[in-house]
Amino acid sequence: MSDAADLTATQLLAEYAAGTLSPVEAAQAVLARIAREDPKLNAFCLVDEETTLDMARAAGDRWRRGATLGPLDGVPVSIKDVLLTRGWPTLRGSTTIDPDRSWDEDSPSVARLREQGAVFAGKTTTPEFAWKGVTDNPLTGITRNPWDTSRTPGGSSGGAAAAVAAGMAPLALGTDGGGSVRIPAAFTGTFTIKPTYGRIPHYPASPFGTLAHTGPMTNTVADAALLLDAVCGADGRDWSALPPPDVPFTEAGPDDLTGLRIAFSPDLGFAAVDPEIAATVATAAEFFTELGAKVEQADPGLGGDPVGEFEVLWFAGAAKVVEHLPPGARARLDPGLREICAQGERYSAVEYLTATARRMELGRIMGLFHERYDLLLTPTMPIAAFEAGLEAPPGSPSPRWTGWTPFTYPFNMTQQPAANLPCGFTADGLPIGLQVVGARHADALVMAACAAYEKARPWRRLTGR
């Protein structure tokens, strides 16, 4: 492979160990790819070549001395611009945040990567305050899909997904409060997992509460395992953070899926799915039988679409995000964000607690469901990527992003691990994703199932092929 920007993190580390490639050469390749591709994609809101190369030079020196800091030393990674990054502003896609204030703290996941010697490629775009499932904002404009630049990459981690798919960094940190790593991974043909809530510590606490997760975004399951191992574990700033798993993700999981009980739900009992996507996902689900699993069609019985309750939680969170802003600053917000904030401000405490009760009931239902089934498979998205710059595609039942994401937000409400596994393409050449959901704390099983599928049916990447 002639371009180091097309290598996965696993491949880069093997090259470093063999002495056939240096972290500086990898960083230079990534920066060159950003310079070439990002003017078309707008995936990065901050690129600081001097800092990136300084980090790469330090990593190269450690590799030469045999004194690496961790398993990701020297590997380029992008950071979604909602995660604090020391020395760089975190503007969250908003004109209402002062870039000249002091930026002297890392979020937990960013701190872990810095401690391990990862090389920061830059910060990636997000909708304003990560509020919706596509990526455009008043500060940096529209982010586009590398497979078709007229289409959205999804969101809210759309910049991160576009960067990975286009070879502008093999690893990315994203966040997911209602599908924000899985939506763009499905639209860009990349891998991601939203881990169990608390698996990756999060700080500052999200105004969207315990819906929000941090997650890795990569081209392969193996790379996601590397990134998960690097950023999992407790952090004193996050009271809900889980301890690190007993077995690293790079070592966990069965070699095959023999005897695994898998349920396939094509619609969760309420979702409308494009026929082309439905057929591709059904074929992918059935393939798990060839890996030794027992697959049967079964709905978890969620009792209908919980979108109303999710919107109470999400829109109230959005109102909390902007409550400190004066009227002049509010006038500069994304118009859709202003609308949901106004709606969120009208909810009563009783309405919020009613939505929370529905959430707890969903958790009970899924807990019992996973006593019968180890994993649940669904489409990740019911549609393919649509026109960039729109919150919802033409004909959507709702003007809001929640109207076309029925498979993602339920599992934020239940805090379960859920991955996007690329499983095919539409006739127009757009990626299709299969969602793999596990019981709470069954992250390793979800990753193992995805790794088995990837090994048997490796997906076509946009780059590196």
Read off the tokens for 141: 């404009």
HSE at residue 251, side-chain half, CA atoms within 13 A, is 5
Those residues whose C-beta lies under 8 Å from the C-beta of residue 437, and which sit 6 or more positions away, are 375, 376, 377, 378, 411, 416, 417, 418, 419, 446
- 3-class SS letters over the chain: CCCHHHCCHHHHHHHHHHCCCCHHHHHHHHHHHHHHHHHHHCCEEECCHHHHHHHHHHHHHHHHHCCCCCCCCCCEEEEECCCCECCECCCCCCCCCCCCCCCCCCCHHHHHHHHCCCEEEEEECCCHHHCCCCCEECCCEECCECCECCECCCCCCHHHHHHHHCCCCCEEEEEECCCCCHHHHHHHCCEEEECCCCCCCCCCCCCCHHHCEEEEEECCHHHHHHHHHHHCCCCCCCCCCCCCCCCCCCCCCCCCCCCCEEEECCCCCCCCCCHHHHHHHHHHHHHHHHHCCEEEECCCCCCCCCHHHHHHHHHHHHHHHHCCCCHHHHCCCCHHHHHHHHHHHCCCHHHHHHHHHHHHHHHHHHHHHHHHCCEEEEECCCCCCCECCCCCCCCCCCCCHHHHCCCCCHHHHCCCCEEEEEEEECCCCCEEEEEEEECCCCHHHHHHHHHHHHHHCCCCCCCCC
Those residues whose C-beta lies under 8 Å from the C-beta of residue 279, and which sit 6 or more positions away, are none
Whether 107 is a known active-site residue: answer: no
Catalytic option among 22, 107, 157, 180: 180
**CB contact at 8 A, 335 and 138:** no
User: Is the bond leading into 335 cis (omega within 30 degrees of zero)?
Assistant: no
Whether 132 is a known active-site residue: answer: no
β pairing state of 213-218 and 171-176: antiparallel
Catalytic option among 109, 156, 206, 265: 156
Catalytic option among 22, 78, 80, 132: 80
Whether 80 is a known active-site residue: answer: yes
| Catalytic residue set | 80, 156, 180
